[in-house]
Chain A
Amino acid sequence: MVDAHPSHEPVAPALVEVSGLSLPAAITHLPRPDPYLNVEDYEPEADAMALNMGPQHPSTHGVLRLKLFLDGEICFKAVPYVGYLHRGVEKLLENRTAIQSVPYVDKNDYVSPLTGELALVMAYEALLDVEPPPRAQVLRTILMELQRIASHHLWLGTFCLDMGGALGGGSSVFLYNFRERELILDLLEALTGQRMHYNALMVGGNRHDVPPGWEEKVLATMDRVEDRLAEYEAMTVDNHIFRSRTVGVGVLDPLLALEAGAGGANLRASGVDHDLRRDAPYAAYGQVDVRIPVETAGDCYARFLVRIAEMREAIRIVRLLVSGIPEGPIGALKPPRHVNAVKLPPGEVYVGIESPRGELGTYLISDGSPIPVRVKIRPPSLHAVSLLPYLCVGATVSDIVVILGSLDPILGEVDR
């Protein structure tokens, strides 16, 4: 039985300085398992069992395949196999113009499509040196935060589903979360006409302006979502079983997290105070003082706490911004007449934004023709999944499911 974990106490933990960065000492420089371990070197060899978890498995969040090498039920090596959803999005984007590209990135991270759109659109804007008008910027920020709430709702639901099963308390949390997620999707639908693949952004601005009365609806929904957050906390934060399943499970070394390129809550739960919304503001994040929740325990429970705090923070940002959307146009460019309307100058850009899962980046090379030479999407989920060979070692099968859920990977984004 795990009781209150010392590192979740509201006491400032001991810090250690690494390359100019203060990290919690208790979890930094943890021993790292060897992800390239030769299974035949494992002793005693007779106890090893290879177990394929996925691609058809209820808790692999889509079609991840994890090859687990187990000793009893303890994993000593985990090899993730990805690519089951590979659709060649980068190749497709390298054959499309800037205007044609946006719907394709919607399908990458299908839980938060708007962030995918923004990362791509901002890369094109950086290449063209176009600045969207203030109204578009504020609207984009609101959309991003609404999307963050919706995405974290889905994450919380599936996380509890991994722990409690489809026939149990987990699915109750899952369905409650969908209740609020639907409310937010209603808002996005009112704005964009879609509930999943919005295609709401375009180079130089937004595609849709705010319908009448939308701001009031947003505020009302935010009140409701904030009220209901307390329900989830009642079912999770202080629940003994929930805590014993998450506290001290899947402790992520902040240095490993950084070097592996993890982002978002995975990074901040390990004590890295880093969020692009505050540290490299884009859209209208410069106008709001974004508060970044940071936890120092680095375990699944810390990642859970960070995401819950992020939902509250997102609600606050939406409330701040929605009451003062500036007047003006929503696009900096003339509405395009045809797909080749946006001429790209030669150049290379990289733009990163803070998606709900971490730094979602787009690297773009253009040689001056309407279609780009190279589009590389930097998916935060890929880096989260690549942490599994490190985190799964020493964990039981039950823990692996929870660890995978706590990292919040979206396989559509991993595989692209």
Chain B
Amino acid sequence: MSRVLDALRMIWEIGWLRGLVVGFVTLTVVMLIAAFTIWFERKWSGRMQNRPGPTERGYGGWLQIFADFFKLLQKENLTPTATDRRLFDFVPPIVVFVVLSSLAVVPYVPQGPAADASVGVLLALAISSLMVFPVWAAGWSSNNKWALLGAMRAVAQSISYEIPLVLSALVPVILAGSFRLTEIVGAQADWHWFAFWPPGPGLAAFVLFYLSSLAEANRIPFDIPEAESELVAGATTEYGGMKFGMFYLGEYVHTFVASSLAALLFFGGWEGPGPDGLHWMLAKALILTASVIHVRWTLVRYRSDQLLRLCWTYFVPAALVLVFAAGLWRILAGGLA
């Protein structure tokens, strides 16, 4: 027994091996959570709409996601003849890869993530903004006008919302004085959650971050790149079977990662009453994910030009003001309040 523990401790001490193990565990758990987010969304939206949602497979239909997964696996691997075949097939794995890579720097426990980078916030946002490329490649390689329109919208939207997203994430960075996510959480100890303290800019920055990450993740009311009532399915129109499944999974992982980032930046991560730890982090991330789902099934969507105008005329100036306010607070309060 002690030999096993010794072996584990040795692994723990080798940095890259530890990163590998932690990363693997995080990936697996987050993928499972994303899968259950799908089940939760179906159930929750059903309850919101006076319908039961999935009921057949397992208690409350919780096995339905596995049924869906196996169905998607069994489906014919359709590739329309006019597509750019290599790029078309290459895109779905890239989507999953990009989405999952940002997990490398997102910590769920105080001990830190797989790679506790000193620029964790920037890295996480930079990786998740890489999503533009696979989406654009999907739209272009599909050789479908709906997909092309959807991809063009997606690029315009992602590039625009990047700016308020990063600027609003800068607010907790300035307040904490660090880019490292574990240190940002540490700065929020003793109930100094940035969403509530300093009062005002933190909460406003959270709202901006939340809305911008909705736009990044293409969720309603900002889901115009997909906009199935207008563009059939946007960039993913031509994808079917498991290729579509990867886009689908990527979307949910993306939502969960964005919620986790929001929980880390603004709600003190694993800080909470009683013992700190994973449970608080997961609870906060899941509550935020649930709110994303609730918003999705409540609102209708904007038009693309309205969305961009919203970004450039309201979000970007507001985010700049917030960054300025956070800096001012930092100077006046002389470090952390």
Name A's B-contacting residues (CB within 8 A).
1-2, 49, 51, 57-59, 73, 160-172, 175-176, 179, 235, 239, 241-242, 244-245, 396-399, 401
Contact = CB atoms under 8 A, between A and B. Distances in A.
Contacts of B297: 168-169, 171-172
- The 6 A-B residue pairs with the shortest CB-CB distance in the complex, in nearest-first order: A164-B300, A163-B300, A168-B220, A175-B49, A169-B299, A59-B229
A396 B49 contact: no
A176 B300 contact: no
20 contacts: A2-B306, A58-B228, A58-B229, A59-B230, A164-B300, A165-B228, A165-B300, A167-B228, A169-B297, A169-B300, A170-B229, A172-B45, A175-B50, A176-B50, A241-B221, A396-B304, A396-B305, A398-B230, A401-B229, A401-B230
A184 to B, nearest CB: 16
B251 to A, nearest CB: 11
Contact of B301 (A73, A165, A172, A397): A165
A235 B297 CA distance: 11
Contacts of B227: 165, 398
A246 B310 CA distance: 17
Contact of B229 (A165, A172, A244): A165
A58 B224 CA distance: 15
A95 B242 CA distance: 52
Nearest to B301: A164
Contact of B220 (A59, A160, A165, A399): A165
Contacts of B228: 58, 165-167
B9 interface: no
Chain A contact residues, majority secondary structure: helix
B310 to A, nearest CB: 7
Given A73-B152, A168-B296, A398-B230, 17 more contacts: A51-B145, A59-B230, A164-B301, A165-B220, A168-B300, A171-B49, A171-B297, A172-B297, A172-B298, A175-B51, A176-B50, A241-B299, A241-B301, A245-B300, A245-B301, A245-B303, A398-B304
Contact of A242 (B49, B226, B300, B310): B300
Given A59-B229, A401-B230, A163 B304 contact: no
A58 B231 CA distance: 9
Nearest to B145: A51
Interface string B39-61: 00000010011110000000000
A171 B228 CA distance: 12
B302 A57 contact: no
A160 B220 CA distance: 13
B123 interface: no
Contacts of A396: 303-305
B223 interface: yes
B229 A166 contact: yes
A192 B167 CA distance: 63
Contacts of A162: 229
